[in-house]
Amino acid sequence: MRLKDRVAIITGGAKGIGAETARTFASEGARVTVWDVTGEAPGPGIAFRAVDVTKTDAVQTAIDEVVKAHGRIDVLVNNAGILRDAQLVKVKDGEVVGQMGDAEFDAVISVNLRGVFVCTRAVAPVMIRQGSGRILNASSVVGLYGNFGQTNYVATKAAVIGMTKVWARELGPKGITVNAVAPGFIGTEMVRQMPEKILATMVERTPVRRLGEPRDIALAYVYLASDDASFVNGTVLSVDGGVVVGT
């Protein structure tokens, strides 16, 4: 029970890695609230609220509700994120046949980057008043190495690493640690629906020769949220099986 009675918020927690993180936190004794734009609580004893993390007022209202219910917030996991993949410019037979549009770029920036900023800005004063807290940000292996067709997504995940390091410096003296987790290829329900050829390529690029499981990431979050990681601050924990990414 490494998180016994800790009050945790997990964004994007209705499914995938977020849902598994919520269930794992709850099993470790945390009082968990999940935020997502749609969905429901991913397990018993987990609270759910519909929250758009890009909306400042909605986030602040949801923060106030958690504080009113529990009196504190110990952990924020900034997990919410979306994909809108496209090549910057796609060329075929010497002609431009496609490109990443403004809407695709802006949508990913809004959720994956602005959302992390909005939620962290809202929770920080609560943690500062407490003199303690853990802020955990979802980056990605592609934020470290880049990836074909993901200009927008990679930009957000690299920027999250930068913000993590800034906030670690700013909030560390207040008793708050800020860290990021960079997952590799994780076998979420969405990923496992991909064509077998693509899945095989993912496994081939991963030296441990398997896809990660959502629980692999959830356990990394548990460690960083626990007292075991009290001296870990401003780091990026890669949970990727030693993956090698590229074109």
> Is there a catalytic annotation at residue 153?
yes
Marked catalytic residue, from 145, 153, 221, 223: 153
CA terminus-to-terminus distance, the chain: 42
Tell me the C-alpha distance between 225 and 223, whole Å. 5
Tell me the C-alpha distance between 218 and 215, whole Å. 5
Helical spans, DSSP H, in 115-213: 115-130, 141-145, 151-171, 189-192, 196-205
Output the DSSP codes for 17-41: HHHHHHHHHHHTT-EEEEEESS---
Return the residue matching tokens 């913000």: 163
Return the residue matching tokens 């504080």: 67
Residues forming beta bridges with residue 238, ordered by sequence position: 182
Q: What angle, rounded to 10 degrees, do the helices at 102-109 and 151-171 form?
A: 30
Find the angle CA(193)-CA(197)-CA(198) to the nearest 5 degrees.
60
How many residues in total does the chain contain?
247
C-alpha closest to that of 151 among 160, 141, 143: 143
Residues noted as catalytic: 153
